[in-house]
Amino acid sequence: MAELTHLNQNGEAHMVDVGAKDITHRSARAEGRVYMQPETLNMIVEGRHKKGDVFATCRIAGIMAAKRCAELIPLCHSLNLTAVSLEIEPVFSQSQDSTDKTYVLLSSICKLDAKTGVEMEALTAVSVACLTLYDMCKAVDKNMEISGIRLLEKTGGRSGHYRHPHAS
């Protein structure tokens, strides 16, 4: 296992000095899910939610969050992102006995040319988009669950390419 780079020789938290690293093209892809009742997802997809376009609001919230990641996560570097995208896919249960759940799959991609990675920005984008969806729909579905937030893939940098073993 690699050593923890956010700890100095005294075991104290510090921001990693990336000054000597090379600038490379980097990208990261992350995903998360919000499980909900089929009626809730139908309301969103059909545009009947009283708060407006839920997916558009989630998309904007996720993009804004990626851009502000360094303000939210201690020790993250401020990054000059070149691209942030957030895709949203409604997934309806295919079974009558509720063994398959209905959910919204949210996935983000963040890109830049920099000395440090962009994984935290992709994860923050997905996390805030999921929280925004929850916030907008909590009045109609208190049983929603946010789950499966994970890094799917990252490229660039010294450590090279990483792909989650279960990434699609």
The percentage of residues in the chain with a pLDDT greater than 70, rounded to a whole number, is: 90
**What pLDDT band is residue 147 in, cutting at 50, 70 and 90?**
very high
Q: Is residue 46 part of a domain?
A: yes
Question: Distance between CA 149 and CA 18 in Å, rounded?
Answer: 27
The model's pLDDT over 21-33, given as tens digits with 9 standing for 90+, comes to 889 999 999 999 9
Q: Is residue 18 part of a domain?
A: no
Q: Is residue 5 part of a domain?
A: no
Q: Is residue 7 part of a domain?
A: no
Number of domains within the chain = 1
How many other C-beta atoms can be found within 10 angstroms of the C-beta atom of residue 163? 12
**Paired tokens of 63:** 């993009």
Q: Give the domain extent around 44.
A: 24-163
**What pLDDT band is residue 1 in, cutting at 50, 70 and 90?**
very low
Q: Is residue 8 part of a domain?
A: no
Catalytic amino acids?
A: 135
**pLDDT exceeds 80 at position 75:** yes
Of 3-17, 33-47, 55-69, which gets the smallest average pLDDT?
3-17
Task: Provide the pLDDT for residue 7.
Answer: 64
Q: pTM for the complete prediction?
A: 0.89
Task: Provide the pLDDT for residue 167.
Answer: 84
What CATH number has the domain bearing residue 75?
A: 3.30.70.640
Question: Distance between CA 76 and CA 80 in Å, rounded?
Answer: 12
> What torsion, rounded to 10 degrees, do the Cα atoms 2, 110, 133, 166 define?
-50
Q: Is residue 1 part of a domain?
A: no
| Mean of per-residue pLDDT scores for the chain | 90
* Higher-pLDDT residue of 88, 96: 88
Biggest alpha carbon–alpha carbon distance for the chain? 57
**Paired tokens of 65:** 């969050």
